[in-house]
Structure 1
Amino acid sequence: MNGGGGDESGGEDQDVGGSGEGMRKPLLRNTGSWYRMTGPSSAGQQYSAGSSSMAVMGRESHVSALLCTLIVALGPVQFGFTSGFSSPTQDALIRDLHLSISQFSAFGSLSNVGAMVGAIASGQMAEYIGRKGSLMIAAIPNIIGWLAISFAKDSAFLYLGRLLEGFGVGVISYTVPVYIAEISPQNTRGALGSVNQLSVTTGIFLAYLLGMFVPWRLLAVLGALPCTLLIPGLFFIPESPRWLAKMNLMDDFETSLQVLRGFEADISMEVNDIKRAVASANKRTTVRFQELNQKKYRTPLLIGTGLLVLQNLSGINGILFYASRIFKAAGFTNGDLATCALGAIQVLATGVTTWLLDKAGRRILLIVSSAGMTLSLLAVSAAFFLKDNMSHDSHLEYILSMVSLVALVAFIIAFSFGMGAIPWLIMSEILPVGIKSLAGSFATLANMLTSFVVTMTANFLLSWSAGGTFLSYMVVSAFTVVFVVLWVPETKGRTLEEIQWSFR
């Protein structure tokens, strides 16, 4: 997957694929490593006069992993906006473009089809052009897709726009968690990693909120803003130091890490750990798909993929995509307002998770989250079954409507408490560097495939039986509790290299 081996002693640059400087220069331009160190790290060290604004920011304000995380988090905001767009626009889209329920369901789920293509490409893109280059490429089809939806005159443009959006989402879904994990200090990696899901929920909430006040065409234009801002933002952050090390750009690797940790920080120990891990990975030949069945690869792949699949099979996307319809079916006249409130609660709950992750740990939060989801879905299912099979009683109907509302809110809180953020975080932590591009693409593809199945079938399942739909989601959540207890390790407070070596 890359040329040459790592240099455990550090110090000098090595050729990539034997091409020396000829290969090195274009990679530097692509990764944004325009700033250069001219001596050992110190408060008074000098940087070249040709440095970009990235160097100025690093010298004056010590560019941190938090700032980099907030910039790349614009990508997941776009992801969330894509997920939330369907709910407030369903009635207007069906009316204005004369769509059937099946056509709208196809529109809602086509983003997942595009995301599957993006997921397949994401690992190799992130491997060969870097994390920043992948995000740059992902932003462009997202912007074009939103504009296609905004100017759509029929279902064809809607579908095209949704597919383009989905491709970008597929690349973003893999690349952002990996980038954040690779730049974060081990003691804050959980909090910074959960910003990915916090941004997704923020995007969903914005789609719900703005959808109450603006027409769907203008809402689509607003959907292009996160990626429009992401593109220039990428020029102000460093490339992942671990990717630079893997590409044998050792000077730029150390510079990037120093910028991320602060110019007075001692990074020698972290530099040596990363070089050893990269050297070990580079000694092995390229891993083929069939070789993932080796135990040292199989276990982390099963855990990472299993969590991402179970995350979607809990029905979260079906609920978020069609929340307005679910609330109307439960008896609420203003389903959009209830949906907006649900989105706000999801943002707040995910924010609490961001604070807790590096304190409580990943494993316990996953157990609490999946158990809470199971109980909440059981209550929602029971409320809908009783509502569908009782004689007309306005007072009892009101009580059941309130039960379903409270239970749905509890489900969203429980999901946000762990299953929303942690599967992506764990995937980015446990996959060994030698298989990260291939296995990460596979795990992201599995996530998008199950998301497609859930969003495509949710409308039809709700028409068949709302109670039965939520009961099936409950069974998956109950299985998730068992899966976490038996399989998922704790990764809190450990370096990526320590986590990945533990599977050997």
Structure 2
Amino acid sequence: MALSSLIGFGGWLSIAYSQGTMSLDIGRLALGIASGLHYYVIPVYIAEISPKNLRGGLVLLHQLILCCGIATAFTVGNLTSWHTLAFIGTIPCMIQLLGLFFIPESPRWLVTHSSEEVYEAALKRFRGENTDITQEAATIKECAEATENISENFFSMFKKKYAHALIVCLGLRVLAAFGGSDGILYYAAATFESARVSRSIGTITMALIQLPTTALGVYLMDKCGRRPLLLLSAAGMGTACFLVALSFLLKAHNCMTDSSPYLALVGILLYAATYPVGMGGIPNIIMSEVFPISIKGAAGSLSTVVTFTCAWIVTYTFDFMMRWSSYGKYSSSLI
């Protein structure tokens, strides 16, 4: 996390002081690396320090904070220049870097890399000085000892016994990415303009509407389970893509020209509201729960690579597909 904060800080400075495409590319590359590290490490860290009965909600709380960041970026981005926005982007990096000096390492990591006193002290800091951690500390140690003598490497995750878990985790990542989330987020302003909707109103509303639904997801995560929220999220994303595709189809045939922009607006807002609740955050939770600690790092790394590769494909091709067929592009996302 400290490394990703430093890389992100450098990336934002490179963009802020940019005078040409080279420094912009370097800055974006640095931010991509920082995001990749954050994307996997932080949800795993949260899952490892959380009590079992609150794990899902606390990991999804990370998604809620991401939504807050997106809402802030869209709002500030409509009020200031991109140079200033890049300078503002350095602030969270510095806050996190300084904050890391005040939080301990994960007890589940310390149990295999440090003494018993150290990991118990870290666990007590998370649970409170007056909390009895004896049973939980013993459970963590038993899990660590159970996997201590298991020889695993990167290719161990492809063993038959892990096949189902790997298919589920990677499948969720691929489907979420090819559902168009990154393209819709990055090209939201251009999409609103194409649908003849106010750019500033559309992007700010899209960013803000994520907050209440994601907060509701945090509350329901450990009460309703992962699967119902995934189904709700997927259904909402599919409906949203259908509405946006219908809007562009009507526009292409000069039908309902007064009301078709509202279909696009409602569709993108519905997508923004339902994606973070399920497909945006739950794959991180499932990934941290279904793999043993001996291969969790390797499986998480592969999952992150697959996620960002799919996201790159969607982001790179989004504009070309919009020019080829705007309604066809959202129909493919719906499928």
TM class, shorter-chain normalised? over 0.9
How far apart are 1:212 and its partner, in Å? 1.0
Query: Match for 2:115 among 222, 244, 249?
Result: 249
> Is the 8 Å Cα contact of residues 11 and 27 (structure 2) preserved in structure 1?
yes
Are 1:327 and 2:192 matched, yes or no? yes
Distance 1:435 1:423 in 2: 17
Are 1:237 and 2:73 matched, yes or no? no
Residue in structure 2 matched with residue 73 of structure 1 by the alignment = none
Distance 1:442 1:457 in 2: 23
Q: Secondary structure at the match of 1:200?
A: helix
Query: What TM-score do the two structures reach when normalised by structure 1?
Result: 0.65
Deviation string, structure 1 residues 266-292 (Cα, Å, up to 9, x no partner): 222212221111112111113241x32
Structure 1 residue ranges (4+ consecutive) displaced by more than 4 angstroms after TM superposition: none
Query: Match for 1:360 among 224, 241, 244?
Result: 224
Are 1:456 and 2:321 matched, yes or no? no
Distance 1:138 1:415 in 2: 25
Residue in structure 2 matched with residue 468 of structure 1 by the alignment = 328
How far apart are 1:417 and its partner, in Å? 2.4
Residue in structure 2 matched with residue 190 of structure 1 by the alignment = 56
Aligned residues: 335
Are 1:337 and 2:197 matched, yes or no? no
Distance 2:317 2:66 in 1: 22
How far apart are 1:454 and its partner, in Å? 0.7
How far apart are 1:453 and its partner, in Å? 0.6
Query: What TM-score do the two structures reach when normalised by structure 2?
Result: 0.97
Q: Pick which of 297-306 and 343-352 moved more.
A: 297-306
How far apart are 1:221 and its partner, in Å? 0.5
Q: Pick which of 138-147 and 306-315 moved more.
A: 306-315
Residue in structure 2 matched with residue 446 of structure 1 by the alignment = 306
Residue in structure 2 matched with residue 178 of structure 1 by the alignment = 44
Deviation string, structure 1 residues 80-124 (Cα, Å, up to 9, x no partner): xxxxxxxxxxxxxxxxxxxxxxxxxxxxxxxxxxxxxxxxxxxxx
Q: Please tell me the residue identity of whatever aligns with 2:141.
A: K
Residue in structure 2 matched with residue 294 of structure 1 by the alignment = 159
Residue in structure 1 matched with residue 279 of structure 2 by the alignment = 419
Distance 1:169 1:324 in 2: 22
Residue in structure 1 matched with residue 35 of structure 2 by the alignment = 169
Distance 1:427 1:286 in 2: 17
- Unaligned runs of at least 5 residues, structure 2: none
Q: Please tell me the residue identity of whatever aligns with 1:354.
A: V
Residue in structure 1 matched with residue 176 of structure 2 by the alignment = 311
Residue in structure 2 matched with residue 430 of structure 1 by the alignment = 290
How far apart are 1:384 and its partner, in Å? 1.0
Residue in structure 2 matched with residue 347 of structure 1 by the alignment = 211
> Is the 8 Å Cα contact of residues 43 and 284 (structure 2) preserved in structure 1?
yes
Deviation string, structure 1 residues 289-337 (Cα, Å, up to 9, x no partner): 1x322233222222222212211111011001010100011112x2122
How far apart are 1:381 and its partner, in Å? 1.0
Distance 1:247 1:302 in 2: 30
Q: Please tell me the residue identity of whatever aligns with 2:186.
A: F
Counting only pairs closer than 5 Å after superposition, residues 22-421 of structure 1 correspond to structure 2 as: 135-289=1-155, 291-332=156-197, 334-390=198-254, 396-421=256-281
The percent of aligned pairs where both chains have the same amino acid is: 36
Q: Please tell me the residue identity of whatever aligns with 1:341.
A: T
Q: Please tell me the residue identity of whatever aligns with 2:217.
A: T
Q: Secondary structure at the match of 1:153?
A: coil
Residue in structure 2 matched with residue 485 of structure 1 by the alignment = none
How far apart are 1:248 and its partner, in Å? 4.0
Q: Please tell me the residue identity of whatever aligns with 1:381.
A: A
Q: Secondary structure at the match of 1:285?
A: coil
Q: Please tell me the residue identity of whatever aligns with 1:424.
A: N
> Is the 8 Å Cα contact of residues 138 and 172 (structure 1) preserved in structure 2?
yes
> Is the 8 Å Cα contact of residues 431 and 440 (structure 1) preserved in structure 2?
no
- RMSD of aligned Cα (Å): 1.3
Distance 2:210 2:154 in 1: 39
Q: Please tell me the residue identity of whatever aligns with 1:312.
A: A
Deviation string, structure 1 residues 390-437 (Cα, Å, up to 9, x no partner): 36xxxx212111112112211221212211111112112222101011
Distance 1:383 1:165 in 2: 34
> Is the 8 Å Cα contact of residues 157 and 298 (structure 2) preserved in structure 1?
no
Q: Secondary structure at the match of 2:9?
A: helix
> Is the 8 Å Cα contact of residues 43 and 285 (structure 2) preserved in structure 1?
yes
How far apart are 1:380 and its partner, in Å? 1.5
Find the structure with the greater CA-based Rg: 1
